Chain A
Amino acid sequence: MSIQKTSIGLRGLGCALPERFTPLAELPLKSTPETLAAFGFTGAYLAEDAHQLAVAATQKALTDAEVLPREIDALLFAGALPLAHQRPSEQPSSTPLNGFCYVGSWLQEEIGLDRASVSGIAQQGCAGMFSALRVARALLTAEPHLEHVLCVGADALPAGACREILYNVISDAACAAVVSRTALRHRWLAFHQISKGFYWDVPTKEREIIAAYFPAARAAINRVLSEASLRPEDIDVVIPTGVNATSWPILLRLCGIPEKRLYTPQHRFGHTIAADTFLLLEEAQATGALAPGMRVLLFTYGFGSSWCALVLEVAGEEKQ
């Protein structure tokens, strides 16, 4: 089987979790701790400032990619909640100007991404980082003079907020990836996103969303495999998210992907909105679970609703 080798992919990756971990019993939740423990959750990481996590994740990704901040051509900042895109002013006032203090711009200044153009990715829920990667690849494809696009995702729930969403325990976290043309860790093979506006009203359609999850997830995965000219059994590793652990074997069985291909996380951090997949991809990479040539499936769901599936090939190219 021949796979079209593209010269775009992930060159560097970085993630950051807060230091403070709070066990289930001490979190504000909707379900009982026992119910959530049965779904594989132990607690959540809570951040004082998610934007500082974004800085940490970005620095790690740049180091991993061996790219300097001023070499970044574009920054795409992804956040699920409106609050994620706003940085409090250093001199807060009651004027509407406070609403124009953007995290992307703040991050550019903090890190010194001086040459980068800055944009935000929103309204994707937990799929924000997937959309950022997709746009990054599209930018590199459409504008040949660009070399490196930095994608950063960071989310934190407001202090005191319920930490459970649809039977998932939510941690605060950030992730970053440098999308480039050379020295790739992971080569991009295919991406597919299905969006269904019918589910825009999350509180009203909560149960319909749960019911729609599996059929739409399977459709997105089938489509991405078809776009990559792969069969389900050609996938070597499936990187899960931190959502309800019992849902992954069901999804893999529906898709015809052998269950043993599901990566088993060593570190449990719950569901971090945008960063799960990348925390676990980074972990799989660090623990030697990935080898060059392996095909890796990444999948996530985001409120909106969007179902995103991405297939990467482990490249392991040398840095120059």
Chain B
Amino acid sequence: MNILLTGFTGNLGKEIAKQLAPHRVLALVRERGCVEPMDGVELLQGDLEHLPESIAPEVEVIVHSAASTAFRVPIEDLRRTNVEGTSRLLEFAQTCPRLHRFLHLSTTCVCGDLTGFVPEAPLTKAPRFVNAYEQSKWEAEQVVLASALPVEIARLSIAAGSERDGSVRRPGALHHTLYWLYKGLIPMLPGQADSPVDLISTEFAAAAVATLIAADISPGRVVHISSGDHAPKLSELLNFLASLFVERNRAWASGAIVTPEIADAHTFALFQNSARQSGDLLFQRVCEDAESFLPGLLHSRTLATSFVHQIPLFNWRVLTERVFTWLLANHWGRSTRAPQPCYAPA
């Protein structure tokens, strides 16, 4: 099968390509010369504005993984990549005569402020969004579902990193928040002690994509790639992180730094407002990082995960420990050196 993959250089791209290995993977990259080659993957120069029309006759499956995950940019900027980029790829897909599947990778963030049980189904009515990123990804889903092509949507929850060696290709809001937490700079987190924190591993996400590709097409289907009811509770995750921090940081070991308070939405808003009023740039940065990732914790929900039960589930404690250890060893992803795997590949 010839598979066109976008987002190869993103957090999940390489692992997805690896797990699709029995197939021919054509990875769309902006600068071919800047991307490390990978066995079994053909690098194609291009992007969502310059799609390689010459390969259209060969493409049988498109896995659309590219997206802008910048949480703090205006909606117009996010729409350019996430909505208009997706529209252009759909137009391109219409020119692929052998195409029989267009798999759009979305995010569980499109649920916005929905709480409770979320079924694997299109969200036809827009919820209230916490940030512009969520909105742009919801809009992209609408564009995909309106297409006459054989489309499927896979919504991914938060990809924390590799369960194999803890590596993180592109540290994001989650990893920045972990850094501030470790440094004792986060006094409180929004949510409830029993709010689920739906983390998944890179390998789990990629395996789910590969399993989907291998299954029969079901046009219009929406699936959740999430840990579902296996997700740790916020207090459980914080206590586990504290147990890791205690072993590596004297301030945690002595009790000088303790796990942050879990605050309700109103209390957290009061704190954010106070931090904003202070004009302190570091605290504003902490709040911004927190704002892009943490508000989800206020909307406690369990995602239906009928499909992903087919894949062996990772252990969230092992994943969390490996990711933290990797981040610590690699200067929280800011290292210019080659990443240092902390665990031998399984």
Q: Which residues of A contact B (CB under 8 A)?
A: 31-32, 35, 38-39, 167, 196-199, 207-208, 210-216, 218-219, 244, 246-247, 249-250, 253-254
Contact = CB atoms under 8 A, between A and B. Distances in A.
A246 B274 contact: yes
B261 A247 contact: no
B278 interface: yes
Nearest to B260: A215
Contacts of B183: 208
Interface size class of B (residues with CB under 8 A): 20 to 34
A211 B273 contact: no
A214 B261 contact: yes
Contact of B256 (A196, A214, A249, A250): A196
B283 A167 contact: no
A31 B256 contact: no
13 contacts: A35-B277, A35-B279, A167-B278, A196-B255, A198-B250, A198-B256, A207-B280, A207-B282, A211-B185, A214-B188, A214-B271, A215-B259, A254-B267
Interface of B: 183-188, 250-251, 254-261, 263-264, 266-267, 270-271, 273-274, 277-280, 282-283
Contacts of A216: 258
Given A207-B280, A207-B283, A254 B274 contact: no
Nearest to A219: B258
B273 A208 contact: no
B76 to A, nearest CB: 31
Given A31-B278, A35-B279, A212 B256 contact: yes
Contacts of B266: 253
A214 B270 CA distance: 13
A253 B264 contact: yes
Contacts of B251: 198
Given A214-B261, A215-B261, A250-B270, 18 more contacts: A197-B256, A198-B254, A198-B256, A207-B185, A207-B283, A210-B187, A211-B186, A212-B184, A212-B257, A213-B187, A214-B271, A246-B270, A246-B277, A250-B267, A250-B274, A253-B266, A254-B188, A254-B267
Nearest to A209: B184
A39 B279 CA distance: 12
B219 to A, nearest CB: 49
B249 to A, nearest CB: 10
Nearest to A245: B274
Contacts of A212: 184, 187, 256-258
Taking each of B183, B187, B263, B283, which has the highest tally of chain A beta carbons within 10 Å of its own beta carbon? B187
Contacts of A254: 188, 261, 263, 267
B92 to A, nearest CB: 48
A208 B180 CA distance: 10
Given A211-B186, A212-B257, A254-B261, A247 B279 contact: no
B8 to A, nearest CB: 38
A215 B277 contact: no
B275 to A, nearest CB: 9
A216 B186 CA distance: 13
A249 B270 contact: yes
A198 B254 CA distance: 8
Given A196-B255, A253-B263, A254-B267, A39 B277 contact: yes
A246 B256 contact: no
A215 B187 contact: yes
A133 to B, nearest CB: 25
Contact of A244 (B257, B259, B274, B282): B274
Contacts of A244: 274
